[in-house]
């Protein structure tokens, strides 16, 4: 069973990860097309790129789980084709979904990986103590991994990957579905590891994480489009990032109009302001004109890595939402579309949602934020009728979900993070099913389906299964399905989890368009830049609604001397921490809140 | 209101049917194996005894022993005959499972028998194969009787001393086991598939997240259960029908009963299986639990149905329990409709328990789904 | 084997054991289902045909007919009721209330005495259940013939005894059923039930747990550690191997104490045989799961290639010799067949090593092929 260890490659001992002309095919598709890169020890490299760029394939090749078809991958000088056994004792790899045994306890997971990585019993106590201290998991060592919140699972996954002090640490999308506080903690841990000399590769959809890395490998369609320090890429955008402030009218409308200008490469909403990127060849005058015509202020701002990323990948799609434009405005005399009073949910002894009351106004984007396991999912599920409350009431469009569930449900559209579509049905059959489920018939049904196919450009993929589509298409299809019956309220449960920035922008363009038609949006998200799109944000902590305000007001709340201009992420972290957030050990609910 | 409900149901049914039939692989798994099993098992399963290997030790010097050996060798149920020369060999051959039975003809057998009928043959049978051994011993009895009668007739010239018996097997004159097994298998396999398919359906939607999607739509729990029942019913009934047709056309089994009555009973039967499957599915959280749960139920259902062995062989209280087993009632209907020209009243008498089981299990499934929402 | 490999294996084995203990559905299959199955095979399934519902239609009022009726009522195998009218019993047979009847015709005495007809009696059975029909027919005719031979009136021993079964026969048969003199089918079925249970634990459970590792993404994490593909497979085998052996012990214990099954061979032979059978059973489960990485497909394949064959083609319910040649060939690779044969021998006959060694040899061979194929298919990478 013991293979002879391959000899070390003498030529480049300094680069623990070396990719030379790497090509990988699956059937006829080229997943990775000729990538060259060398990563030096002690650096933190982010692997970024849109969905389907080949990030996971590349990670798996570095973990010696896939062999390249052409070229070579060397890890600590060993070829993955011949030295996989030796490589596996020198790397730590955390796959997507963390690779944990959910029916084993924290301690048992750690024990298992210690044995697998060959930690000698004598060294074990010290190694465990260090990992427990590092991840602060000590108090939870007897808890089953499946009962941990997302943030703690991520830490446990990291602890398992770190067993045996690997020379190379590979993390595949470690922060998907994890709240900002946990992300920040993870980030701090990984940086500490890099400064100890570990080589870390980190695949991510969060570009602020990429921005803080030592270097970035930017992949697009299997090709390496940028390699180097993130700052160098960001610098290219110098003088092209702007901010529009003091917007008098509708900021969403403004963004949409701006995105339609050829001079605008990218644009996002940040609270009450709009951030725009100017196309390289366009002059600033066009943007100036736009600002002047709307009577808002226009100022240059420092570029972010995200700006450069979007620019490099060809910019944001235009600001039209064809579907929203075709919809008739929601006509209602109601001032609020979602109402809950003293909403409470017990799971045995545990109170997941504790006396929550709020109203969502008609045509408002309302964000429900909170750390993993704080109870926001439970609250959200009660609001759309998936979970009966223990006490209190929830109403959608004036209908009580307990008394008139049929009427209430006919008013709401729902889209979940898994894009729950039927993989065994074709795209067209999915559309037909969801339209029928919401009671559309005859000509109207055909008309709506055609409309969706038309506006979301689904024609070429109608006969295919949603399972084989790229994430972006899946998301479009899921949105199309949830809009078929023209809901007046749209419930979005982490709708962009794990989705790349360009697809997310397209998604928010649609949301903005819907809001313009008076549709009410209720959303949960872990992306704080998306929380900026919300009119109001509710922060759920330990089952209670502790903050309810506009993003700007929340940011202002935490602004202080050492942080004069906090981001929404800063605001979230500070607000949570000031309220005595100690991990999330108290907060876990048995209903899958901690997915 | 009602029209809207019907429309939603139609949509659900189309969706379920598509998810069973659109993908060629799923379609194959659904339809291929049951039909293959019907073919294999129809040929394989028999309680008749054929191709039996036999050992013979003939120490007799007379003709009767030789005649007996020849008659046994020529018999329909035997295959290979091993001639042994020592009693120990016979015992070893049985011991090692090489032969099912051994015939030991002692010395002086012919002489003793023809003199005063005091000769006797010893037959050893392997009790590990109890069923085959018992049947083979019956065949062997007949053979020896014939041989004996022939030689007796030759020696005395006397014909049969007493009149015999006129034996008639109704419905199945040649007692073909296949005539019994094919109608029964059609029920077992159709139930197996409809139960397994429905047991997985809710559990799978739950794992994939689409079940939430259904629950937030205006579709009610009752509609979900009906919408899942009807497609499974259609598939199970279609499969059952194909297998019944195979029985008539391929295996040439006479169908003497009423097609209409069977066509009425089959869907009710499938529906009771669907109800059991959906109840399992609504209880289970994961597909693995649903699969294992379905297995844990299918085995007792088949064993207490009268498929492998008659219900009347079970202890009385277990016969009472098995009244809740849909397969038991359907097997009576299927066998009756094929072979016994079962009249409508009796089909009905066995159909209403099925209806009760279906109603009970389906309501239970609706209650389970609704309980999570209210 | 160096100590690191040993430790990795031990760690994986321990992990698997903890998972089994925490999984209610695994425990259901391993401990509850065996009980249910054994119980059903002990009580519900019986190949012994006795207490067959039977009718005697008496059309004759003569003393011989009455005496024959009495002989029918005295027997142990047929549950006889008396009827006067054929139509009445025809209906009962149609509905399945009786499985056959014998008609004693009005001119029975004449027929008997003067041979006015070829046959004195008519026996009608319900052929829709052929095995019951055949048994009932032979009991019914045996009673008649014995009644004849015993001088028209003397009650006594019946068919299936050491005395001549018929007056016509001059050859006396001395019949002995070895290993199972009472021909109690339970003694034959219970070993078969053990084989089914072991197949479910070995093949179905193994196939499901490996498929689950693929579905949940933990297989990927395992493969990125120094543990090799072979180690991961081995570690899957050991716990279910132990679970299987424990289940054998439990099942055997229950059979011996509650259901009166004799164990004529040794525990050593029983355990060696079961240990050998677990090789192909687990090997098949592993092979299924390396080919089908979803639980749904894996369970379908396991049902089709392991469970149903173990049930129907292993020879404990249906005689293999009677099957057509192509199907007999298929049963050769059904490992449960050889296990059943071995089990029945160990329980009923004793340690017959030539036979047991043959069975174990075949099982080991099938097991080696399955496990070898699984190892070939798990190369330690995700490439396929």
Among the partner residues A385, A432, A436, nearest to B7 by beta-carbon distance: A436
CA distance C287 to chain A (A): 20
Identify which of C225, C229, C226, C237 has the alpha carbon closest to the alpha carbon of residue C201.
C237
Give the percent of chain B with pLDDT over 70: 95
CA distances from B347 to B106, B194, B310, B340, C128 (A): 56, 22, 19, 11, 16
Residue B153's pLDDT is what?
63
Say which range, A313-322, B239-248, B291-300, C362-371, has the weakest mean pLDDT. A313-322
Question: Among the three residues B156, B185, B206, which one is the final residue of a domain in this structure?
Answer: B156
- List chains touching A (3+ CB pairs under 8 A): B, C
| A386: chain B residues, CB-CB within 8 Å | 212, 215-216, 373
Contact A340, A356 (CB under 8 A): yes
Q: How far apart are CA A130 and CA A196, in angstroms?
A: 14
Question: Among the three residues B156, B186, B213, which one is the final residue of a domain in this structure?
Answer: B156
Q: Which DSSP letter does residue A579 get?
A: T
Residue B299 included in any domain: yes
Among the partner residues A409, A422, A429, nearest to B216 by beta-carbon distance: A409
Residue C366's pLDDT is what?
95
Cα atoms in the Cβ-side hemisphere of radius 13 Å centred on B8? 22
Helix then strand count (H, E) for chain B reads: 14, 5
Residues B109 and B245 in one domain: no
Give the percent of chain B with pLDDT over 90: 27
Contact B170, C125 (CB under 8 A): yes
Give the number of other CB atoms < 10 A from CB of residue B206.
18
Q: Are strands C52-58 and C100-104 parallel, antiparallel or unpaired?
A: parallel
pLDDT, tens only, C206-263: 888 888 888 778 888 888 888 888 888 888 888 888 888 888 888 999 999 988 888 8
Among the partner residues B45, B124, B341, nearest to C318 by beta-carbon distance: B45
Q: In what order do the strands lie in the sheet with A44-48?
A: A91-94, A168-172, A199-203, A44-48, A215-220, A223-228
Residue C50's pLDDT is what?
72
Contact A436, B14 (CB under 8 A): yes
The CA-based angle A316-A320-A322, given to 5 degrees, is: 125
Residue A584's pLDDT is what?
45
**Six token digits for residue C166:** 């018929």
**Mean of all residue pLDDT scores within chain C:** 82
Q: Inter-chain contact A160–C18, Cβ cutoff 8 Å?
A: no
Q: How far apart are CA A133 and CA A136, in angstroms?
A: 5
**Structural domain of residue B323, as residue ranges?**
2-45+174-371
Say which range, A484-498, C118-132, C262-276, has the weakest mean pLDDT. C118-132
Contact C15, C238 (CB under 8 A): no
Query: Domain ranges in chain A?
Result: 17-230, 236-319, 336-578
Residue A2's pLDDT is what?
44
Instruction: Find all residues with CB under 8 Å of B226, minimum gap 6, and list them.
Output: B9, B12
Q: Inter-chain contact A89–C231, Cβ cutoff 8 Å?
A: no
- Report the Cα C136 to chain-centroid distance in Å: 22
**Six token digits for residue B303:** 């064993």
Q: How far apart are CA A593 and CA A21, in angstroms?
A: 43
Tokens 């070939």, residue located: C376
Interface contact A115, partner C, CB < 8 A: yes
Residues B305 and B364 in one domain: yes
Identify which of A341, A357, A372, A346 has the alpha carbon closest to the alpha carbon of residue A541.
A372
**Is there a common fold for A17-230 and A336-578?**
yes
Q: Inter-chain contact A104–C15, Cβ cutoff 8 Å?
A: yes
**Six token digits for residue B245:** 């047709």
pLDDT at residue C175 greater than cutoff 50: yes
Residues B179 and B109 in one domain: no
Residue C150's pLDDT is what?
62
| Per-residue tens of pLDDT for chain A, all 595 residues | 344 444 444 454 578 898 888 999 888 888 888 888 988 888 899 998 888 788 889 999 999 888 899 999 999 888 888 888 888 888 999 988 778 888 889 989 998 888 888 888 888 888 888 888 888 888 888 888 888 877 888 889 988 888 888 899 999 888 887 888 888 888 888 888 888 888 999 998 788 888 889 999 998 888 898 998 998 988 888 888 888 888 887 888 888 888 888 888 888 888 888 888 888 888 888 888 888 888 888 888 888 888 888 888 877 777 778 778 888 888 888 888 999 999 999 888 888 899 999 999 999 999 999 888 788 888 998 998 888 899 999 999 889 988 888 888 888 999 987 777 888 889 999 999 999 888 888 899 999 999 889 888 888 888 888 888 877 788 888 988 998 889 999 999 888 877 888 888 888 888 988 998 899 999 998 888 888 889 999 999 888 998 899 998 998 888 888 888 888 888 898 888 887 654 444 444 444 433 3
**Mean of all residue pLDDT scores within chain A:** 85
Residue B30 included in any domain: yes
Identify which of A182, C303, C97, C373 has the alpha carbon closest to the alpha carbon of residue B332.
C97
The CA-based angle C20-C26-C30, given to 5 degrees, is: 105
Query: Domain ranges in chain C?
Result: 3-45+184-377, 52-149
| B49: chain C residues, CB-CB within 8 Å | 319, 321-322
Residue B164 included in any domain: no
Contact C316, C189 (CB under 8 A): yes
Give the number of other CB atoms < 10 A from CB of residue C116.
12
Contact A97, C216 (CB under 8 A): yes
Architecture of the domain made up of A17-230: 3-Layer(aba) Sandwich (3.40)
CA distance A416 to chain B (A): 8
pLDDT at residue B362 greater than cutoff 90: yes
pLDDT, tens only, B117-144: 677 888 888 888 877 888 888 788 778 8
Among the partner residues C166, C178, C319, nearest to B125 by beta-carbon distance: C178
- At residue B55, φ and ψ (nearest 5 deg) are -115, 145
Architecture of the domain made up of A236-319: 2-Layer Sandwich (3.30)
Q: Inter-chain contact C228–A103, Cβ cutoff 8 Å?
A: no
Give the number of other CB atoms < 10 A from CB of residue A36.
12
Give the number of other CB atoms < 10 A from CB of residue B296.
18
Q: What is the DSSP string of A91-143?
A: EEEE-TTTT--TTSBHHHHHHHHHHHTT--HHHHHHHHHHHHHHHT-GGGTTS
CA distance B217 to chain C (A): 27
Q: What is the pLDDT averaged over residues C297-313?
A: 84
pLDDT at residue B265 greater than cutoff 90: yes
Interface contact B214, partner A, CB < 8 A: yes
Q: How far apart are CA B82 and CA B75, in angstroms?
A: 14
Q: How far apart are CA B53 and CA B75, in angstroms?
A: 11
Tokens 């209280």, residue located: B317
**Six token digits for residue A192:** 């500490």
Helix (H) or strand (E) holding A367, with range, is strand A365-369
pLDDT at residue C299 greater than cutoff 50: yes
Q: In what order do the strands lie in the sheet with A264-270?
A: A264-270, A273-278, A241-245, A297-300
pLDDT at residue C200 greater than cutoff 90: no
Q: Between residues 93 and 112 of chain A, which touch chain C (CB distance below 8 Å)?
A: 93-104, 108, 111-112
For the ranges B150-164, B240-254, B295-309, C76-90, the one whose mean pLDDT is highest: B240-254
Top-level class of domain C52-149: alpha beta
Residue B161 included in any domain: no
Q: Select the more confidently predicted residue: C331 or C215.
A: C331
Identify which of B13, B116, C13, C293 has the alpha carbon closest to the alpha carbon of residue A108.
C13
pLDDT, tens only, B37-82: 888 888 887 777 888 888 999 888 888 888 888 888 888 888 888 8
Residues B60 and B185 in one domain: no
Helix (H) or strand (E) holding B264, with range, is helix B259-283
Residue A405's pLDDT is what?
85
Residue A587's pLDDT is what?
43
CATH superfamily of A336-578: P-loop containing nucleotide triphosphate hydrolases (3.40.50.300)
Q: Where are the alpha helices (DSSP H) in B157-220?
A: 177-208, 210-216
Q: What is the DSSP string of A306-345?
A: HHHHHHHTT-PPPS--HHHHHSPPP----SEEEEEEEEEE
Q: Which DSSP letter does residue A7 get?
A: P
Q: Which residues pair with A172 in a beta bridge?
A: A203
Instruction: Find all residues with CB under 8 Å of A141, minimum gap 6, and list them.
Output: A105, A106, A107, A110, A132
Among the partner residues A405, A420, A433, nearest to B208 by beta-carbon distance: A420
Residue B291 included in any domain: yes
- Please report the ipTM that was assigned to this predicted complex: 0.80
> Helix/strand/coil (H, E, C) string of B43-81?
HHCCCCCCCEEEEEEECCCCHHHHHHHHHHHHCCCEEEE
| B28: chain A residues, CB-CB within 8 Å | none
pLDDT at residue B328 greater than cutoff 90: yes
Contact C156, C146 (CB under 8 A): yes
């Amino acid at each position: 069973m013991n293979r002879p260890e391959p000899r070390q490659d003498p030529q480049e001992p300094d680069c623990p990860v070396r990719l030379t002309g790497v090509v990988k095919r699956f059937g006829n598709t080229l997943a990775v097309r000729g990538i060259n890169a060398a990563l030096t020890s002690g650096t933190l490299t982010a692997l970024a790129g849109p969905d389907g760029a080949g990030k996971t394939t590349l990670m798996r090749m570095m973990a010696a789980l896939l062999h390249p078809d052409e070229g070579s991958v060397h890890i600590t000088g060993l070829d993955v084709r011949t030295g996989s056994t030796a490589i596996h004792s020198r790397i730590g790899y955390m796959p997507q979904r963390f690779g944990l045994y959910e029916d084993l306890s924290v301690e048992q997971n750690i024990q298992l990986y210690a044995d697998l990585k060959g930690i000698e019993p004598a060294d074990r106590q010290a190694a465990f103590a260090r990992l427990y201290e590092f991840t602060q998991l000590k108090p939870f060592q007897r808890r089953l991994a499946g009962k941990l919140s997302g943030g703690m699972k991520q830490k446990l996954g990291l602890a398992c990957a770190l067993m045996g002090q690997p020379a190379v640490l590979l993390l595949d999308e470690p922060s998907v579905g994890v709240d900002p506080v946990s992300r920040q903690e993870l980030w701090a841990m990984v940086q500490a590891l890099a400064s100890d000399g570990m080589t870390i590769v980190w695949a991510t959809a969060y570009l602020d994480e990429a921005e803080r890395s030592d270097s970035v490998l930017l992949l697009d369609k299997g090709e390496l489009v940028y390699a180097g320090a993130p700052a160098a890429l960001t610098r290219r955008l110098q003088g092209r990032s702007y901010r529009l402030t003091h917007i008098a009218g509708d900021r969403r409308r403004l963004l949409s109009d701006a995105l339609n200008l050829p001079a605008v490469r990218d644009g996002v909403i940040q609270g009450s302001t709009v951030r725009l990127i100017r196309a390289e060849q366009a002059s600033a005058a066009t943007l100036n004109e736009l600002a002047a015509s709307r009577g808002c202020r226009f100022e240059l701002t420092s570029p972010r890595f995200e700006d450069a990323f979007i620019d490099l990948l060809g910019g944001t799609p235009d600001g039209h939402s064809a579907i929203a434009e075709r919809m008739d405005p929601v006509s209602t005399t109601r001032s609020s579309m979602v109402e809950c009073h003293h909403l409470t949910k017990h799971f045995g002894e545990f109170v997941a949602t504790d006396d929550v009351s709020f109203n969502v106004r008609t045509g408002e984007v309302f964000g429900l934020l909170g750390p993993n396991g704080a109870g926001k999912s439970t609250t959200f599920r009660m609001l759309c009728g998936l979970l009966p409350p223990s006490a209190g009431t929830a109403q959608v469009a004036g209908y009580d979900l307990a008394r008139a569930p049929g009427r209430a449900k006919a008013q709401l559209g729902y889209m979940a993070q898994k894009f729950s579509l039927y993989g065994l049905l074709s795209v067209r059959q999915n559309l037909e099913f969801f339209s029928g489920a919401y009671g559309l018939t005859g000509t109207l049904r055909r008309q709506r389906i055609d409309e969706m196919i038309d506006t979301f450009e689904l024609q070429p993929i109608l006969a295919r299964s949603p399972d084989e589509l790229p994430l972006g298409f899946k998301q479009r299809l899921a949105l199309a399905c949830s809009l078929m019956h023209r809901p007046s309220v749209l419930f979005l449960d982490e709708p962009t989890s794990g989705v790349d920035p360009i697809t997310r922008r397209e998604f928010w363009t649609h949301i903005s368009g819907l809001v313009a038609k008076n549709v009410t949006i209720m959303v949960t998200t872990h992306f704080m830049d998306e929380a900026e799109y919300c009119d109001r944000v509710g922060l759920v902590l330990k089952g209670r609604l502790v903050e309810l305000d506009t993003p700007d007001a929340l940011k202002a709340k935490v602004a202080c001397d050492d942080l004069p201009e906090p981001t929404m992420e800063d605001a979230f972290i500070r607000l949570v921490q000031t309220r005595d957030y100690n991990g999330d050990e108290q907060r876990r609910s048995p209903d899958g809140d901690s997915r | 209101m009602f029209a809207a409900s019907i429309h939603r149901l139609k949509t659900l049914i189309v969706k379920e049917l598509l998810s069973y039939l659109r993908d060629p692989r799923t379609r194959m798994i659904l339809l291929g194996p049951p039909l293959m099993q019907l073919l294999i098992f129809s040929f394989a399963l028999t309680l008749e005894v054929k191709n039996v290997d036999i050992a013979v030790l003939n120490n007799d010097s007379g003709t009767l022993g030789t005649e007996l050996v020849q008659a046994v060798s020529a018999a329909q149920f035997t295959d290979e005959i091993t001639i042994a020369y020592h009693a120990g060999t016979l015992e070893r051959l049985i011991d090692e499972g090489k032969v099912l039975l051994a015939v030991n003809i002692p010395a002086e057998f012919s002489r003793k028998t023809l003199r005063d009928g005091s000769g006797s043959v010893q037959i050893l049978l392997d009790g590990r194969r109890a069923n085959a051994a018992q049947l083979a011993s019956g065949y062997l009895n007949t053979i020896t009787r014939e041989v004996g009668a022939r030689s007796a007739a030759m020696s005395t010239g006397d014909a049969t001393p007493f009149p015999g018996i006129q034996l008639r097997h109704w419905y199945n004159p040649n007692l073909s086991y296949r005539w019994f097994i094919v109608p029964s298998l059609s029920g077992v396999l159709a139930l197996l598939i409809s139960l397994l398919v429905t047991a997985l359906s809710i559990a799978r939607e739950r794992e994939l997240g689409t079940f939430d999607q259904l629950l937030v739509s205006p579709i009610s729990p009752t509609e979900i259960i009906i919408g899942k029942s009807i497609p499974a019913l259609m598939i199970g009934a279609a499969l059952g029908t194909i297998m019944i047709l195979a029985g008539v056309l391929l295996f040439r089994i006479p169908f003497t009963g009423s097609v209409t009555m069977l066509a009425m009973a089959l869907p009710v039967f499938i529906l009771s299986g669907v109800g059991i499957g959906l109840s399992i599915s609504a209880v289970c959280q994961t597909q693995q639990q649903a699969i294992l749960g379905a297995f844990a139920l299918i085995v007792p259902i088949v064993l207490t149905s009268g498929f492998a062995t008659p219900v009347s062989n079970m202890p009385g209280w277990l016969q009472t329990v098995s009244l809740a087993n849909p397969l038991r009632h359907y097997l009576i209907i299927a066998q009756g409709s094929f072979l016994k020209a079962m009249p409508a009243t009796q089909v009905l008498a066995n159909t209403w328990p099925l209806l009760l089981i279906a109603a009970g299990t389906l309501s239970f499934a609706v209650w389970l789904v609704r309980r999570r929402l209210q | 084997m160096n100590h690191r490999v040993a430790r990795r294996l031990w760690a994986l084995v321990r992990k698997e054991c903890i998972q089994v203990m925490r999984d209610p559905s695994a425990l259901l299959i391993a401990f509850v289902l065996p009980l249910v199955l054994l119980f059903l095979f002990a009580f519900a399934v019986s190949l012994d045909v006795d207490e067959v519902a039977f009718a005697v239609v008496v059309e004759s009022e003569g003393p011989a007919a009455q005496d024959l009726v009495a002989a029918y009522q005295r027997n142990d195998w047929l549950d006889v009721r008396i009827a006067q009218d054929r139509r009445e019993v025809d209906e009962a047979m149609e509905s399945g209330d009786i499985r056959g009847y014998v008609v004693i015709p009005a001119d029975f005495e004449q027929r008997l005495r003067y041979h006015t007809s070829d046959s004195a009696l008519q026996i009608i059975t319900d052929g829709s259940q052929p095995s019951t029909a055949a048994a009932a027919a032979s009991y019914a005719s045996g009673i008649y013939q014995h009644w004849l031979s015993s001088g028209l009136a003397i009650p006594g021993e019946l068919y299936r005894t050491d005395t001549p079964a018929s007056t016509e026969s001059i050859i006396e048969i001395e019949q002995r059923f070895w290993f199972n003199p009472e021909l109690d089918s339970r003694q034959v079925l219970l070993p078969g039930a053990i084989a089914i249970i072991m197949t479910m634990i070995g093949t179905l459970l193994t196939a499901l747990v490996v498929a689950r590792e693929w579905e949940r993404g933990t297989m990927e994490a395992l493969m990125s550690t120094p543990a090799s593909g072979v180690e991961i497979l081995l570690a899957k085998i050991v716990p279910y191997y132990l679970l299987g052996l424990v289940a054998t012990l439990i099942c055997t214990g229950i059979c011996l104490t509650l259901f009166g099954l004799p164990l004529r061979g040794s525990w050593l032979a029983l355990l060696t045989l079961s240990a050998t059978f677990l090789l192909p059973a687990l090997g098949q489960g592993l092979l299924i799961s390396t080919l089908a990485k979803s639980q749904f497909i894996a369970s379908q394949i396991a049902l089709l290639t392991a469970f149903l064959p173990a049930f129907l083609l292993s020879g404990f319910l249906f005689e293999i010799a009677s099957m057509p040649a192509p199907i007999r060939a298929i049963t050769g690779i059904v490992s449960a067949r050889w296990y059943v044969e071995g089990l029945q021998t160990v329980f009923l006959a004793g340690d017959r090593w030539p036979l047991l060694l043959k069975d174990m040899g075949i099982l080991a061979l099938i097991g080696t092929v399955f496990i070898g194929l699984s190892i070939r298919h798990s190369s330690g990478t995700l490439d396929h």
